[in-house]
Structure 1
Amino acid sequence: MRLKLVPDQTSIDFFRHYRLTFGTSIVAMVLSVVAFAIMGLNFGIDFRGGTSIRTEATQPVDIGAYRDAMTPLNFGDVAITEVFDPAFGADRNVAMIRIQAQEGTESVTPAQLDTVLSALQQVDPTLSFAAVESVGPKVSGELVQSAIIAVTLALAAVLFYIWLRFEWQFSVGAVAALVHDVVLTIGLFAVLQIRFDLAIIAAILTIVGYSLNDTVVVFDRVRENLIKYKKRPLKEVLNISINETLSRTVMTSVTTLLALISLFVLGGDVIRGFVFAMIWGVIVGTYSSIFVGAAMMLRLGVKRDWSKNAADKAGAQFGVKEG
């Protein structure tokens, strides 16, 4: 028996209270900006600077034991990951330890490094430091700037792509949905003070791609139905299109969430922030495709006729023809 999360035929009126849902989204975005301005983000080592230590040992790496040994030292944000690289050799168990920049200094001092080494050698006497590197404020500032540029260029590329493939109203709706997702994600991280590092930037860019994919599927069906139902009101055409793609949207979102929730529970602390951002992104991205992107199209109106005769007419004919 085939699993069905959504019936084949649905007739949900997604825009019955679209002014309320659209207004709620705007309010949520404003609150996210306020939270970011007041509380700021809990930047990780990638953005605040700090020290990266590569350890080697003859015994297998025990991340939990390493973290327990480091906790009493009160160094703040400490990230520990095991490194698997054939170049290191099978007998060289390698881990990367990243410690945030300490107050008053750009990196961990030699005395503090000795303290870290002593603490870790209580866990594994064979452990040694193979390399120590520091990331200063200048490099961290460049990473912040690069992250902002990356997200901005991604949104600009989406705007251009949708504009070429559809119409400008579709493009505005898609970008509005993506900006909504990015702003709410940043606002959530500001409120919860979850560590914000380069992995979260990767998650945000992934969210942009996921949300865009869902939005394009809906918009493609909208364009088909605008040609098919030329005399139906735009609101009705949008509802038909979203209902026709609802089963696909729900199935994709649910299966993606199942994988992400498994990673969140079993994946460990290293990827938990990334996975949390992805879980939130899937939820808010699915919501924004309908209640932000499509709602924006409803407010702007769209061209209803893509025939050659209509294209030959002088001037582009926008707005909604009902009859």
Structure 2
Amino acid sequence: MRFKKELDFVHLSKFFYIFSIALTVAGLIFLASFGLNYSVDFKAGSNVDISLSKNLTLEEVNSAVEKTGISSEPSITLGSERVNVRYDQVLDEQQDEALKAEILKLDDKASFEINTVDTEMSKELARNAIYAVLISCLGIIIYVSIRFEWRFALAAIVSLIHDAFMVVAIFSIFRLEVDLTFIIAVLTIIGYSINDTIVIFDRIRENLRFGKQKTYEDLKELVNKSVAQTLMRSLYTAFTVFIAAFFLLILGGESIKMFSLAMVIGLLFGAYSSIFIASPIWLLLKKREKTNVKSPAKG
């Protein structure tokens, strides 16, 4: 499928800018007001994963948990022959044994896996997650700067930050739970997005070699042409990965639900950021170079 030359991707990017800016502002407001809904992975507490030999109802599990006498109200998630009970407090040995005893009354073949995160460990996990994202972004800047030029690198990193923050904003606005798999999803989205962006940038660089761009309109036409030439490849790739992530969300287990959801959201934003965010930003930076080169001649 070929797109007409007159299809102006640069002009269409203005509408995507407006949408992204509006969502960014909303995300910043929610983050400042409510923060993120961290799971037990990032805050002190205990996570009890229970494997069962039969399915239990939510009422049965709630009743068993209430009989333990633990003051903290847990978050309970039911699965097929599995129950996950999460407390915001760290359970001591006596509380662990009380919970096990009540569940064993319902299923004497139940097995337990209890993970505890203390305050210092949760803070360290949060710091390391931020460092992982920042270091990956820094590595991408260096790579793109060496392979292309700093304008491509700056445009690429803005696009990556956009994709990552859009996922964070959605999770903050809808109070979705953020766990360790969420960080993995964000890093995966960054890797996917830079791959798609590099494909378009490579085509822009190639077209620059075979044409003489003297004005902004020439550069704009070149960007539109480059995007059109790589668009179907980008859409096919995005759609293929999206389908895989979508079925992971629908059919996958509870433990990877937030990972799959973050991937689905990130892929949707990543599908348009390379086209409507990264490329137009490079065009703006290149336009300023053209302007700066021409200005001394006027004197």
TM bucket normalised to smaller: 0.7 to 0.9
Could you tell me whether the CA contact under 8 Å between 1:80 and 1:270 is conserved in 2? no
Task: Give CA-to-partner distance per residue, 1:161-208, whole Å, 9 cap, x none.
Answer: 111110111001000000111111111000111110100000000000
Distance 2:60 2:198 in 1: 49
The aligned counterpart of 1:77 is 75
- Which of residues 25, 31, 48 in structure 2 aligns to 1:36? 31
- Whichever residue aligns with residue 50 of structure 1, its letter is G
Bigger Cα displacement from structure 2, 15-24 vs 207-216: 15-24
- Whichever residue aligns with residue 240 of structure 2, its letter is T
Q: Deviation of residue 132 (structure 1)?
A: 4.4
Task: Give CA-to-partner distance per residue, 1:255-307, whole Å, 9 cap, x none.
Answer: 1111111111111322111101001111101111111111111111179xxxx
Distance 1:201 1:81 in 2: 23
Distance 1:53 1:23 in 2: 44
Query: What is the TM-score when the length of structure 2 is the normalising length?
Result: 0.84
The aligned counterpart of 1:292 is 277
Distance 1:296 1:144 in 2: 31
The aligned counterpart of 1:250 is 235
- Which of residues 91, 97, 109 in structure 2 aligns to 1:108? 91
The structure with the largest helix share of the pair is 2
Question: Relative to 1, partners in 2 of residues 1:133 and 1:249: Cα closer, same or farther, differing over 3 Å?
Answer: closer
Bigger Cα displacement from structure 2, 72-81 vs 18-27: 72-81
- Which of residues 153, 164, 177 in structure 2 aligns to 1:182? 164
The aligned counterpart of 2:297 is none
Distance 2:76 2:134 in 1: 30
Task: Give CA-to-partner distance per residue, 1:65-91, whole Å, 9 cap, x none.
Answer: 386644453743356899xxxxxxxxx
Q: Deviation of residue 24 (structure 1)?
A: 3.4
Q: Deviation of residue 151 (structure 1)?
A: 0.6
Question: Relative to 1, partners in 2 of residues 1:125 and 1:255: Cα closer, same or farther, differing over 3 Å?
Answer: same
Task: Give CA-to-partner distance per residue, 1:3-45, whole Å, 9 cap, x none.
Answer: xxxx134432111243343243233222212211112111001
Bigger Cα displacement from structure 2, 178-187 vs 15-24: 15-24
Distance 1:212 1:289 in 2: 8
Distance 1:100 1:210 in 2: 35
Aligned-partner SS, 1:15: helix
- Whichever residue aligns with residue 164 of structure 1, its letter is I
Correspondence list, 1:61-100, <5 A: 61=53, 65=56, 69-72=60-63, 73=65, 75-78=73-76, 97=84, 99-100=86-87
The aligned counterpart of 2:192 is 210
Question: Relative to 1, partners in 2 of residues 1:244 and 1:77: Cα closer, same or farther, differing over 3 Å?
Answer: same
- Whichever residue aligns with residue 175 of structure 2, its letter is Q
Question: Relative to 1, partners in 2 of residues 1:164 and 1:53: Cα closer, same or farther, differing over 3 Å?
Answer: same
Q: Deviation of residue 115 (structure 1)?
A: 4.1
Q: Deviation of residue 124 (structure 1)?
A: 1.9
Question: Relative to 1, partners in 2 of residues 1:70 and 1:202: Cα closer, same or farther, differing over 3 Å?
Answer: farther
Task: Give CA-to-partner distance per residue, 1:242-262, whole Å, 9 cap, x none.
Answer: 100111011111111111111
Number of aligned residue pairs = 282
**Identical aligned pairs, as a percentage?**
30
Correspondence list, 1:1-323, <5 A: 7-11=1-5, 12-53=7-48, 61=53, 65=56, 69-72=60-63, 73=65, 75-78=73-76, 97=84, 99-102=86-89, 107-129=90-112, 132-231=114-213, 233-301=218-286, 318-319=289-290
Distance 2:62 2:197 in 1: 44
Aligned-partner SS, 2:255: coil
Q: Deviation of residue 229 (structure 1)?
A: 2.2
Aligned-partner SS, 2:10: coil
Bigger Cα displacement from structure 2, 201-210 vs 23-32: 23-32
Aligned-partner SS, 1:270: helix
Question: Relative to 1, partners in 2 of residues 1:68 and 1:287: Cα closer, same or farther, differing over 3 Å?
Answer: farther
Q: Which runs of 5+ in 2 are unaligned?
A: 67-72, 295-299
Aligned-partner SS, 2:290: coil
Q: Which runs of 5+ in 1 are unaligned?
A: 1-6, 83-92, 304-317
